C-alpha cells in the first residue's frame, strides 16, 4: 500500500491525482467526514491529507469552507456545516489570523487581556461547533511570526509578537486540557522542525492566500493523518527490537557482555544508551516493547544485565531470541500478546531482515532506520507510529498489565483444574454505567479493540458522551483486577432499547483478560439492568471482520439462540436471549456493589 511517509514531496504533488484514484479503489476503507475551516486557502493541504488518509485505511469526504470565513461559518452561518454532518472539524489558522496582537507599550496585565480576548474569539468558535455539530475538533496552535520586529526582545517584551504567540499557544493548550472534544495540532512544533525560513512562502500568500510552503503542507498533512489514526485506534502499540547493533553495539554472542558498546564512555556507546532511553520513554507512556533477535536466548538476555543498560528484562513484554526466521517470531509475539501485528513497528539494523519481515508480515511497519543508531529515534518519530490523542491511566500502566499476564500464565500451570486457577486469581470487577471520568478511555477502547469486538462499531468521544446521558441506552463498563495487578477498564457493552427488546450495538473486551469469565460477569450485570428497564429480550449482533473471528460463537457460548437475520447488514448474525428467569452465572469474580444504580 502506498504510504504518505515514504513518498517525496515532488512525487506527491505531481502524482497525487493518480495516487488518489488508485488508493480509492481499496476495499474496506472506513468512511469519515471532515470539515476544514481555514484562515488560509486549504486545497493543497486537503489534497495531501486525503492521500494520507486513503493510505491509512480511511475514505474521507471533505467540506472546505471559504477562505477566511472560519469564524462566520462556525458562529454566525453554520447551516452548511450542520447539513454536512462532519465526524471531525479541523480549524486551519496561522499567525496571520491573529487579530489582536498587543501594542508595543502594553503592560503585563494588558498583555494578558489581549491574549484572553484572542482566545475568547476561538472559544466562541469551539462552543458554536460543539452546539451545532457536536463532533471532535482539531485546532492548530500557531507558528512563531516570520519576523521578529524587536529582535531578541520579541520573545520577552510585552508587545513582542513572539511573546504573544507563546502565551496564546499555552492558553490553547489549557483549553484543550479542559475540553476533551478539542485537540491541538502542534503547528508550533512542526514549523520549528521544518524551519521558519522554509515554512512560509510569501509569493504563494500574496498570489493564492496559501501562507505556508508545500513542504509545510506535507508536514501538516502527515501530522493530521496521524491524529485521525490515533482518534480511530490505529496508532501502533508495540515496538519490536532487534538486539545486536540495534540496542547495543557489537554482537553479544561473539564479543560477550563486557565488550558490547553501551554506556557513556564513547560516542557510539552513548548513542546506543540514548536510543535505549528513547525506547524506555515510549514504554513509560504505554508502548509495549518486544525483542526479536537471532541469538541464543540465554546469551541474549545477558545484554540487559550490563550495568549501563537502560533497558532491563522486566521492561520487555515478549522476548524471542532463537534461530527461527524473524517473521515467524514476530507472528508468535502477536499471538502471545493477543495483538495484531499491524500494530507493530519493527526496528533492525540489518536491511535484509527488514525486507523479509516487511514482505512476510502483513501490516507491520518497518521503517528504513539504516545502521546509524544515532538516527533511529528521529526516524521513528518522523513516522508518527505511536501518536496519542490522550493519555489515560490505562495507557501509562499498559506495560505493567502485560507483565502481569506473564505472571498469570506461569501461575496457571500450577493448577490442574481451570476453575481453581480462576478462583486463585482472587479477581474483583467493577461493573457500572458509564461515568464521566472514564468516557475518554471508553471512546479510546471502542476505536482500538478489534479482536474481541462483536460489531466493531466506532464511537467518538462526542458519541459516548451523548449515549451516557441517553435513557434509551444501557451503557456498561467493566474493570478487572486480581492478585497480580489492576487490568484497568477492559470491557464495554452498549444496549439500545426499542420496545421490549434491547439491541446490543457494541460488546467488546481487551484480549489481555481473555478466559477469565469477565464476559459472564458483564452479562449478569447487563441482564439485571435490562430487567429493571422492562426489557424482555436481548438481541446480540455479530458482524465478521478479518480480525474478530475469535468471537464468532460468543453469544452462543452465553446461551443466546441464533435468529433468522433481520439486520440491515446482510453479513450480521443475530442472537436472542430472553431475560425472564435468567439466573446469574458468574462464580469466579467478585463484583463490587454498583454505587450509581
CB under 8 A, 24+ apart: contacts of 189-192: 190/143, 190/216, 190/219, 190/220, 190/223, 191/143, 191/144, 191/216, 192/143, 192/144
Distance CA 440, CA 391 (A): 9
pTM of the prediction? 0.81
**Contact (CB, 8 A) for 327 and 356:** yes
Closest C-alpha to 189, from 148, 230, 226, 220:
220
Q: Is the dihedral of CA 189, 193, 196, 202 positive or negative?
A: negative
Cell of 270: 552513548
Hey, which bits of 39-81 come out as E strands?
A: 58-64
Pairing of strands 427-433, 473-482: antiparallel
In the chain, count H helices and then E strands. Answer: 22, 17
Distance CA 495, CA 9 (A): 47
DSSP letter assigned to residue 72: I
Cell of 583: 439466573
Distance CA 460, CA 442 (A): 9
pLDDT value, residue 408: 56
SS3 of the chain: helix, strand, coil, percent, to 5:
45, 20, 35
Hey, which bits of 14-164 come out as E strands?
A: 30-38, 58-64, 88-92, 136-140
Closest C-alpha to 184, from 230, 145, 217:
230
DSSP letter assigned to residue 76: I
Q: pLDDT tens-digit profile of 455-505?
A: 988 888 888 998 999 999 999 999 999 887 888 899 999 999 999 999 999
Tell me the mean pLDDT per 10 residues along the chain, length 597. 63 85 90 96 95 94 95 96 96 95 93 96 96 95 95 95 97 94 96 96 95 96 95 92 96 92 94 97 94 95 95 95 95 90 96 94 94 95 90 63 59 70 90 90 85 89 89 94 86 95 94 88 95 94 89 94 77 92 93 61
pLDDT value, residue 69: 95
Provide the CATH number for the domain formed by 4-231 in this structure: 3.40.50.1110
Label each residue of 307-357 as H, E or C.
CCCCCCHHHCCEEEEECCCHHHHHHHHHHHHCCCHHHEEEECCCHHHHHHH
CA angle 222, 52, 36 (to 5 degrees): 80
3-state secondary structure of 259: coil
**Contact (CB, 8 A) for 53 and 228:** yes
pLDDT value, residue 1: 43
Distance CA 378, CA 278 (A): 10
Q: Name the residue with cell 482472587.
A: 426
CATH class belonging to 238-383: alpha beta
pLDDT value, residue 387: 93
Q: Is the dihedral of CA 9, 14, 17, 23 positive or negative?
A: negative
CB under 8 A, 24+ apart: contacts of 354-363: 356/325, 356/326, 356/327, 357/326, 357/327, 357/330, 360/325, 360/327, 361/327, 361/330, 361/331
Q: pLDDT tens-digit profile of 43-92?
A: 999 999 999 999 999 999 999 999 999 999 999 999 999 999 999 999 99
CA angle 86, 87, 91 (to 5 degrees): 70
> Element (H or E) spanning 289, and its range?
strand 288-294
Cell of 588: 469466579
Cell of 315: 521492561
In the chain, where are the structural domains located? 4-231, 238-383, 411-591
pLDDT value, residue 572: 87
Closest C-alpha to 402, from 478, 475, 510:
510
**End-to-end alpha carbon distance in the chain:** 49
Q: Name the residue with cell 507510529.
A: 385
> Element (H or E) spanning 254, and its range?
helix 252-255
Label each residue of 372-411 as H, E or C.
CHHHHHHHHHHHCCCCCCCCCHHHHHHHHHHHHHHHHHHH
Q: Judging by beta carbons within 10 Å of its beta carbon (0-12, 13-18, 19+), is residue 100 exposed, middle or buried?
A: middle
Distance CA 317, CA 295 (A): 18
pLDDT value, residue 413: 58
Asked, colleague to colleague, whether 4-231 and 411-591 share their fold, the answer is no
Q: Is the dihedral of CA 73, 167, 220, 204 positive or negative?
A: positive
**Integer angstrom CA distances of residue 573 from 64, 295, 538:** 39, 47, 14
Helix axes 393-412, 267-284, angle to 10 degrees: 90
CATH 3.40.50.150 is the classification of domain 411-591: no
Hey, which bits of 473-579 come out as E strands?
A: 473-482, 485-498, 501-509, 537-542, 561-563, 573-578
Report the length, in residues, of the chain: 597
Closest C-alpha to 137, from 189, 92, 73:
92
Amino acid at each position: 500500500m502506498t504510504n504518505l511517509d515514504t513518498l517525496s514531496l515532488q512525487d506527491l504533488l505531481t502524482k497525487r491525482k493518480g495516487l488518489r484514484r488508485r488508493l480509492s479503489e481499496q476495499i474496506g476503507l472506513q468512511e469519515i467526514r471532515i470539515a476544514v475551516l481555514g484562515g488560509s486557502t486549504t486545497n493543497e493541504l486537503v489534497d495531501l491529507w486525503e492521500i494520507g488518509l486513503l493510505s491509512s485505511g480511511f475514505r474521507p469526504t471533505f467540506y472546505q469552507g471559504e477562505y477566511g470565513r472560519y469564524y462566520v461559518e462556525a458562529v454566525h452561518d453554520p447551516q452548511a456545516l450542520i447539513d454536512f454532518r462532519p465526524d471531525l472539524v479541523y480549524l486551519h489558522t496561522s499567525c496571520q489570523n491573529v487579530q489582536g496582537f498587543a501594542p508595543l507599550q502594553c503592560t503585563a496585565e494588558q498583555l494578558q487581556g489581549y491574549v484572553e480576548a484572542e482566545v475568547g474569539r476561538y472559544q466562541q468558535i469551539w462552543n458554536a461547533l460543539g452546539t451545532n455539530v457536536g463532533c471532535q475538533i482539531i485546532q492548530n496552535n500557531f507558528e512563531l511570526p516570520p519576523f521578529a520586529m524587536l529582535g531578541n526582545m520579541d520573545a520577552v517584551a510585552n508587545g513582542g509578537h513572539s511573546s504573544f504567540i507563546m502565551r496564546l499557544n499555552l492558553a490553547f493548550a489549557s483549553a484543550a486540557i479542559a475540553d476533551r472534544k478539542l485537540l491541538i495540532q502542534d503547528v508550533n512544533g512542526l514549523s520549528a522542525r521544518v524551519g521558519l525560513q522554509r515554512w512560509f512562502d510569501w509569493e504563494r500568500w500574496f498570489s493564492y492566500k496559501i501562507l505556508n510552503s508545500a513542504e509545510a503542507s506535507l508536514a501538516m498533512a502527515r501530522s493530521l493523518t496521524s491524529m485521525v489514526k490515533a482518534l480511530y485506534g490505529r496508532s501502533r502499540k508495540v515496538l519490536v527490537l532487534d538486539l545486536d547493533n540495534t540496542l547495543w553495539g557489537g554482537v553479544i554472542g561473539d564479543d560477550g557482555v563486557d565488550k558490547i558498546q553501551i554506556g557513556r564512555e564513547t560516542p557510539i556507546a552513548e548513542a546506543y544508551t540514548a536510543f535505549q532511553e528513547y525506547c524506555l520513554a515510549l514504554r513509560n507512556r504505554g508502548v509495549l516493547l518486544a525483542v526479536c533477535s537471532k541469538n541464543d536466548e540465554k546469551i541474549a538476555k545477558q545484554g540487559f544485565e550490563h550495568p549501563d543498560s537502560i533497558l532491563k528484562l522486566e521492561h520487555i513484554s515478549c522476548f524471542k531470541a532463537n534461530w527461527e526466521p524473524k517473521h515467524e517470531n514476530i507472528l508468535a509475539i502477536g499471538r502471545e500478546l493477543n495483538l495484531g501485528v499491524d500494530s507493530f513497528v519493527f526496528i533492525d539494523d540489518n536491511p535484509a531482515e527488514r525486507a523479509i519481515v516487511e514482505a512476510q508480515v502483513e501490516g507491520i511497519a518497518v521503517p528504513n532506520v539504516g545502521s546509524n543508531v544515532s538516527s533511529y529515534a528521529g526516524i521513528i518519530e518522523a513516522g508518527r507510529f505511536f501518536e496519542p490523542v490522550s493519555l489515560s491511566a490505562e495507557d501509562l500502566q499498559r506495560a505493567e498489565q502485560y507483565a502481569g499476564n506473564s505472571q498469570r500464565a506461569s501461575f496457571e500451570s500450577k493448577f490442574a483444574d481451570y476453575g481453581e486457577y480462576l478462583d486463585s486469581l482472587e479477581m474483583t470487577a467493577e461493573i457500572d454505567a458509564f461515568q464521566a471520568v472514564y468516557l475518554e478511555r471508553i471512546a479510546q477502547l471502542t476505536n482500538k479493540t478489534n479482536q474481541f469486538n462483536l460489531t466493531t462499531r466506532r464511537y467518538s468521544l462526542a458519541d459516548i458522551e451523548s449515549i451516557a446521558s441517553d435513557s434509551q441506552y444501557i451503557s456498561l463498563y467493566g474493570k478487572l483486577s486480581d492478585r497480580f495487578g489492576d487490568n484497568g477498564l477492559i470491557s464495554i457493552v452498549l444496549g439500545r432499547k426499542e420496545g421490549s427488546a434491547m439491541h446490543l450495538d457494541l460488546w467488546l473486551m481487551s484480549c489481555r483478560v481473555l478466559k477469565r469469565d469477565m464476559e459472564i460477569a458483564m452479562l449478569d450485570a447487563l441482564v439485571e439492568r435490562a430487567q429493571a428497564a422492562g426489557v424482555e429480550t436481548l438481541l446480540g449482533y455479530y458482524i465478521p471482520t478479518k480480525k474478530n473471528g475469535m468471537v464468532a460463537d460468543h453469544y452462543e457460548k452465553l446461551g443466546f439462540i441464533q435468529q433468522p437475520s433481520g439486520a440491515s447488514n446482510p453479513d450480521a448474525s443475530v442472537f436472542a436471549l430472553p431475560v425472564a428467569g435468567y439466573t446469574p452465572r458468574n462464580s469466579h469474580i467478585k463484583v463490587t456493589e454498583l454505587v450509581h444504580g
